[in-house]
Amino acid sequence: MGALQGPWEPVKPQLRMIETPAVEVVRATAPLSREERVCIWVIRLLLPVILGLCCQLIFWMWFNDVYGPNSWSIVGGVLLVFVAAPVALWTWYSWLPQE
């Protein structure tokens, strides 16, 4: 009674080789030209300047207002906040590494 016989024999493990084609790494985009790189760097350097000017204007309108708050300074400041928020996000993501 040592070994099972017939359909009750234990299944022997089988090793199969699965061949897959080699993976080829392809860049999603072509390398940037010199003019494109210059344009990207100009935008990267101008965005913090634009953000700083927006923040300075908001500070002058809301916190350093010598004539007191009026409706135009509130409306203008809110509009500047709506401009400065996307510029801040754009600045943040333009300076993040691309890879």
CA atoms within 13 A on the CB side of 65: 15
- Output the CA torsion sign for 67, 73, 74, 77: negative
Q: What is the mean pLDDT of residues 62-82?
A: 84
pLDDT value at position 99? 53
Q: How far is it, in rounded angstroms, from Cα 43 to Cα 86?
A: 14
* pTM to 2 decimal places: 0.61
Confidence check: pLDDT of 4 > 70: no
pLDDT for the residue numbered 86 = 94
Question: In whole numbers, what is the pLDDT of the chain averaged over residues?
Answer: 82
Looking at residue 70, its pLDDT comes to 82
What are the boundaries of each domain within the chain? 34-99
Round to the nearest angstrom and report the end-to-end CA distance of the chain.
65
